[in-house]
Amino acid sequence: MNLNFKTTIDACVGACKPASAWSTTGEVDTIIQWTVEYAVKHGNTDGRPTRVLVWRESSGFEEYGAFITKEGGQTERVNTLSADSLAFKVKPVPDAKWSADDDFPGANVPFAIDFMKDFDTQDSRVLFVLRDWHAYIANNHDHIDKQLALLEEISEHGGKHIIMVGQPKWTDENVPVELTPHMYRQTLEMPDKSERLDIIASWANEVKHSQPEKFPLMLTIKESELEAVADATGGLTRMQIEEVILMSLVMLRKFDMSFILNEKQNLVKQAGFDIARPESGFERIGGLTPLKEWAILLRKRFTKEAFDYGFLTYPRGLLMAGVPGCGKSAIAKAIANEWSMNLLTVSAEDLKGSLVGESEAKVGTLLRTAKAAAPIILFVDEAEKLLGKSDGVNDGGAHDAVLGQFLSFMQEDTSGVFFVFTANNMEKFAPELVDRFEGRFFIDLPSALEREEILRIHLGLRGQGEEYVMADLVKATKDFSGRNIEQAIEGAMNIAFNEDRPLTQEDLLGVFGKVIPTSKTKKAEIETMRTFVENGMMRGANNRDTDSGSDAGDKASKLRNFV
């Protein structure tokens, strides 16, 4: 049982707080498990047992209890267990169901309120668990008043506590104002590494002792391997962790890391995010030496040694503004590789929702996922679309709420989530958000030196030789972005490939001459962004060198070949 859950229920029951509202990402079964565990281990303080009744709209109430297996294989329900007891199962109590007599749709909602009010606590205390109550708490004014009367009665007499479980975050928008003073809101956080390790070790011991002949590879599993699985499942819910490792056991007869990581990526994608360990680092990034050097300096800050040395916090983040196509996304991926971290990627548009509270709920899930998987890099592309000011748009306060979530998390988090934001319009960001980032870099159009690096990298990745006059290519790509150069190289290769011959200097120069570079298509935006460096808001990320005609190309040709 999670310590925060126990502490919260302890406090609410002791203070006669009638209800706690829990936000969870699909972990209702976990809440039920913990509630029963709390009841049998901590709910018998005055000689009365504590019962657990779980409600759902389709079937009404059902009682759950703790069962132990006796000699001979028979199971027996128990009302009290020691705090350190592990040998019990939580399951429904036979023939303990109550539902509305009427069969009209929604009949179990008013029935639930009346049932809880009339429940007799003379012989036992009771914990009610209401599944998906967020969908019913405010759907009828008469129900609201009945709930208020129930909560007031519990507050006065005690003996009962209501655990409301909801999928989105409980907010002022989905909790009637009349009920708010009587509810304590909490979030069921994703499991940290210690809890993940407990879950994984428990299943490893289960299969080793109960079915050793089916899982011979599990008999020799090491503590370090269990810890690696715990690291790999960071960012998953408890239910997802169990599903993934059980699927691995059934299909491969062991905890297979490749399978687990692949399933984790699929599960995270279902939530609208992408998690991966990029395969390439700075060797595929042309130029940007100041930014690379800054990132390399921070690499050791995510170690225990950094805190032993005297650092008090992890680094918070990197904010990059720049010309489209100049490598902002590639830098985020390269840093993740250089730091040996996973990259959790999401676009700003994926976090926006049309319904009240939807954006806040998505951001809450994102931040909880990142925290559980930390240390990790959380990459939000075009972040100003989510966190930037939208002039003249009334969003009901959603923007301020989401901004507040990020500001609060970045200020208070101690888990090691490193934020990388990219932006095309820095002026839309609130100053207090910009100040959260230690690293603020502007990525300009590549200089001559950088263009040679970019040319060599992209030609080398495509298996092209070095029989080119690099100075001429550098000169021909003046004012190109990195993306302009990459796309033009592929365009020239298309021509040579279709004519069944090698790529030539003339192919490249011919295509380069037809490109309308980013410097012309985004001229105004580039000039505005350059003022960010001039006024000290950002640092320049590019190599400093002159860029004038063939001289620049000659200087560039002296650079080492990075490929």
179 contacts 137 by C-beta, under 8 angstroms: yes
Percentage of the chain modeled with pLDDT above 90 = 56
Same CATH topology for 3-187 and 282-443: the answer is yes
Question: Is residue 182 pLDDT above 60, yes or no?
Answer: yes
Instruction: Show Cβ contacts of residue 474 under 8 Å, excluding neighbours closer than 6 positions.
Output: 448, 451, 452, 455, 552, 553, 556, 557
pLDDT, average across residues 69-91: 87
Could you confirm whether domain 282-443 is CATH 3.40.50.300?
Answer: yes
Q: And the tokens for 354?
A: 């049309």
**Domain boundary assignment for the chain:** 3-187, 193-270, 282-443, 448-556
The pLDDT tens digits of the residues spanning 105-149 come to 788 999 999 999 999 999 999 999 999 998 889 877 888 999 999
Helices (H), 163-232: 193-210, 223-232
* Angle at 335 (CA atoms; ends 408, 305), nearest 5 degrees: 70
Nearest CA among 133, 128, 129, 190 for reference residue 167: 133
Q: What is the pLDDT of residue 351?
A: 82
Indicate the pLDDT class of residue 19, thresholds 50, 70 and 90: very high
pTM, whole model, 2 decimals? 0.74
Q: What is the pLDDT of residue 385?
A: 85
The pLDDT tens digits of the residues spanning 217-253 come to 999 999 989 998 998 898 899 999 999 999 999 999 9
* Distance in angstroms (rounded) separating the CA atoms of residues 523 and 534: 17
Q: What is the pLDDT of residue 355?
A: 62
Q: What are phi and psi of 52, to 5 degrees?
A: -125, 120
Average pLDDT of the chain? 88
Nearest CA among 46, 90, 48, 53 for reference residue 68: 90
Helix axes 505-512, 482-498, angle to 10 degrees: 130
Task: Select the CATH number that applies to the domain covering 3-187 from these four: 3.40.50, 3.30.70, 3.30.450, 1.10.3060.
Answer: 3.40.50
CA atoms within 13 A on the CB side of 70: 5
The pLDDT tens digits of the residues spanning 517-526 come to 888 888 888 8
Q: What is the pLDDT of residue 372?
A: 85
